[in-house]
Structure 1
């Protein structure tokens, strides 16, 4: 599976060899002009999550990854793989 960094950029990342997930997320966001700022829909999503008892808070890299997915820069599967790599590396203190 290949994660395209940008349509204009032939450079790609192999999901099997992501390396530092934080770097990959930051690079994808920067190339695609993504800042991770909250969108109006985020307020609704937070309220719905709170009401369902599924409170979740996202750090900067996770907010970037959410926006990367919303804009269609990566497929759902690619976002999931990159998020899994990020969570694993964060848990390992990388």
Structure 2
């Protein structure tokens, strides 16, 4: 299947392609519009799934950190003990 989303056809090219495909120029124009709309919808779905995964990962990380904070508060560690603890892990942000 040919896709022409990378460029725009001039009127002469549109007419020639419409004749070749046995379509009216208007129907050819509508086909391109529909094709662009389908492509945009598919990309939106892909983006949405990616953002859902990022959100799920961040939610999981947030819950883990909240639990860690609660455990630390429960221990009521003195400032001297903090110096001997391992450094916290680095958080990674969801790229947007």
Instruction: Please give the range of the TM-score, normalised by the shorter of the 2 chains.
Output: under 0.3
Q: Which has the higher contact order (CA 8 A, sep 6+)?
A: 1
- Which one has the bigger strand percentage? 1
Q: Which has the higher helix share?
A: 2
- In terms of Rg, which structure is larger? 2
- Report the TM-score, using the length of structure 2 for normalisation: 0.25
- What TM-score, normalized by structure 1, do the two folds share? 0.26
